[in-house]
Amino acid sequence: MNFNFFIEQFADLKIMRYQVPGFEKLSLKQKELIYYLSEAAICGRDIIFDQNYKHNLLVRKTLEHIYKKYSGDRECDDFQKFVVYLKRVWFSNGIHHHYSMDKFFPEISEDYFAELLSNSQPDNLSLIGNETIEQFIERVSDIIFNPDIAPKRVSLDSTGDLILNSACNYYEGVSQKEAEEFYEKMKDENDPNPVSYGLNSRLVRVGGELKEEVCKIGGRYSEAIENIVRWLEKAIQVAENDNQKTVIEKLVEYYKTGDLKTFDEYSIAWLKDTDSLIDFTNGFIEVYGDPLGIKASWEAVVNFKDMEANHRAEAISRNAQWFEDNSPVEPQFKKKKVKGVTAKVITAAILGGDCYPSTPIGINLPNADWIRAEYGSKSVTIENITYSYHQVSQGSGFLEEFCNSQEEIELSRKFGFIGSNLHTDLHECLGHGSGQLLPGTSPDSLKNYASTLEEARADLFALYYIMDKKLIEIGVMPEMDVAKVEYSGYIRGGLITQLTRIEPGKDIEESHMRNRQLIAKWCYEKGKAENVIEMFKQEGKSYCKVNDYGKLRSLFAELLAEVQRIKSEGDFKAGKNLVEKYGVKVDLNLNNEVKDRFDKLGIAPYGGFINPVYTPVKENGRLVDIKISYSDDYLRQMMHYSEKYSFCDHS
């Protein structure tokens, strides 16, 4: 059967879908478990819209109302542009770009927007409340079109107030200083097991006082969480084993109480559940959406082990101590004992919240430092997602455009997929878990450069080891050419191709991108005398070429040792220098050239996925099967989710 991975493309986004190989072979009970967890994953969708910006749900619901009810010409250009805007709002879970965090705008006029709404049975629009239609149109128009209102979702510009300059909805009427003091007071330096203060709440001013609105049943987002819990309680009934049952029960208890101690207990139980085939995350997890890095966005992923690919991750995690002991890092910065790194290759069954439609390809959790130190972490590579990316890129002309030779194209076709999966395994499972801080070094000392340097550390660890014969010995890599393909692809990405995501004239801000350019540029500069990496132009197009893979590996080793030293000692000045010198500035000519080449190929720089559909099959009222089918309609899936799973009010 020919499966179409590519669905559609608009603005700078492409929509794909993924297969769930192996689902049909699961037992009925396992399918049931995945189904219940999947429903729980979709029920939180509104939460992330509201967290990203307080008016996102109002905007989304207004746009959806127009889409359903507009009685005018639906074929004209303007209406199509309106639909593109709606699709972008769904994709970003709000009105800010999911990656750059900048507010984006529809390519229609405010007058046309007013006309759309006036001809969409506005009397039936429950959102209006006490306003007149005109007042409502004016208010929503302002939110959508005014560039001065909420221009950035998350501001990392430390010269201003990070909270007041960010549109995200984790604080209301509170300044950065007040929020920092509020959480500073909660901390107890002597507590070896501190909870993640403020993780699951919004901080607001009530009268003169600051107060946390906790996300739980009976608290913030109560209705959505009630629905999540309803499905989780069904999942408990079909859990694979007692460990997994405990995990889900702890999560339910946490959603009922909002107690962060219970969340830690849940995280520890989740780490201990390593035997189950099926696994999931569901909750307030990552803190990238809060400029202070305190409050977590809601996300969910349901998955099961990819048994065939899994021997790869298991072999790597079994040898974690060997990798740590043999790394090029100074001995005092190494972990004496690497704890409980479990790595899996997984098949995603559903994506939800902050992981939908744009999803990470690797995850390493939990985030609490003391739990990681004491109980280890779980790390995954989502291989059916990387497979989709790979399939879609095959026919795009990307390799032909940017590789420096026919040989490089062919090698990339052959080994690119396994190379990048191995990189993700090594990055997530070993890289993030490696190294240690010297006694007395504060984990916060690298400040706004911390996440770039952390990603660099994990990438360098992966790059260093992907060219180690150990990988061939333990049976996870077929031959060294895999490593060569990964090296040239990584350098090409860091020096050239990732610039497609940068608006000409702007700096690089996103930390993974800063990290990739930092590594590639540093190695390019350091290896210049020996021509380790060559940059050249042919017929006006820029290319790069790795001339000496062995020397490049030594450069990775040297930089890894330095970045680990910076982290272990908390050397802010050296960290800042590295990032600012190599990771931030962009050559404008090259930037324009790359964007132009991508435009000509018609490749959108960002991708996301629609979910498969799970349908219970009943006979005589008894459940006999869960059927999986693959939607190919982005718009229909989004409208369906909005209609069936909308549990939050707008503000």
Site residues, Zn ion (CB under 5 A): 455, 458
Cβ at position 98, least distance to Zn ion in Å: 18
- By beta-carbon proximity to Zn ion, the closer residue of 94 and 431 is 431
Query: Which among 31, 206, 20, 15 has a CA at the least distance from the CA of 615?
Result: 31
The single residue listed with the structure tokens 């991708």 is 607
- By beta-carbon proximity to Zn ion, the closer residue of 306 and 455 is 455
Cβ at position 600, least distance to Zn ion in Å: 32
Q: SS3 for 333-356, per residue?
A: HCCCCCCCEEEEEEEEEEEEECCC
Cβ at position 422, least distance to Zn ion in Å: 15
CA dist 175 → 164, 170, 574 (Å): 6, 12, 30
Residues ≥6 apart with Cβ < 8 Å to 199 = 260, 263, 284, 287, 294, 295, 296
Tell me how far the alpha carbon of residue 97 is from its chain's centroid: 13
Cβ at position 430, least distance to Zn ion in Å: 11
Task: Tell me how long the chain is.
Answer: 651
| Distance between CA atoms of residues 612 and 350, nearest Å | 7
| Distance between CA atoms of residues 299 and 47, nearest Å | 9
- By beta-carbon proximity to Zn ion, the closer residue of 12 and 455 is 455
- By beta-carbon proximity to Zn ion, the closer residue of 292 and 458 is 458
Cβ at position 302, least distance to Zn ion in Å: 22
| Distance between CA atoms of residues 164 and 161, nearest Å | 5
Cβ at position 476, least distance to Zn ion in Å: 19
Instruction: Answer whether 21's CB lies under 8 Å from 227's CB.
Output: no
| Distance between CA atoms of residues 178 and 220, nearest Å | 21
Cβ at position 193, least distance to Zn ion in Å: 25
- By beta-carbon proximity to Zn ion, the closer residue of 216 and 378 is 378
- By beta-carbon proximity to Zn ion, the closer residue of 458 and 555 is 458
- By beta-carbon proximity to Zn ion, the closer residue of 394 and 448 is 448
Instruction: Say what the alpha-carbon torsion angle 110, 115, 117, 123 is, to the nearest 10 degrees.
Output: 140
For Zn ion, the nearest residue by Cβ is 458
Cβ at position 136, least distance to Zn ion in Å: 43
- By beta-carbon proximity to Zn ion, the closer residue of 455 and 510 is 455
Cβ at position 514, least distance to Zn ion in Å: 13
Instruction: Answer whether 86's CB lies under 8 Å from 64's CB.
Output: yes
DSSP letter at 185 equals H
Q: Which 3 state secondary structure label does DSSP give 404?
A: coil
Cβ at position 337, least distance to Zn ion in Å: 22
| Distance between CA atoms of residues 49 and 55, nearest Å | 9
| Dihedral angle sign, alpha carbons of residues 642, 648, 649, 651 | negative
| Distance between CA atoms of residues 99 and 14, nearest Å | 14
Instruction: Answer whether 140's CB lies under 8 Å from 62's CB.
Output: yes
- By beta-carbon proximity to Zn ion, the closer residue of 578 and 626 is 578
The single residue listed with the structure tokens 């780490």 is 271
The greatest distance separating any two alpha carbons of the chain, rounded to the nearest whole angstrom, comes to 77
Cβ at position 321, least distance to Zn ion in Å: 21
| Distance between CA atoms of residues 566 and 573, nearest Å | 9
- By beta-carbon proximity to Zn ion, the closer residue of 451 and 497 is 451
Cβ at position 376, least distance to Zn ion in Å: 17
| Distance between CA atoms of residues 483 and 37, nearest Å | 37
Instruction: Answer whether 546's CB lies under 8 Å from 491's CB.
Output: yes
- By beta-carbon proximity to Zn ion, the closer residue of 12 and 428 is 428
- By beta-carbon proximity to Zn ion, the closer residue of 32 and 455 is 455
- By beta-carbon proximity to Zn ion, the closer residue of 64 and 455 is 455
- By beta-carbon proximity to Zn ion, the closer residue of 367 and 441 is 367
Residues 110, 114, 117: CA angle, nearest 5 degrees: 135
Cβ at position 609, least distance to Zn ion in Å: 20
CA dist 207 → 84, 154, 161, 300, 435 (Å): 42, 26, 22, 35, 46
Cβ at position 455, least distance to Zn ion in Å: 5
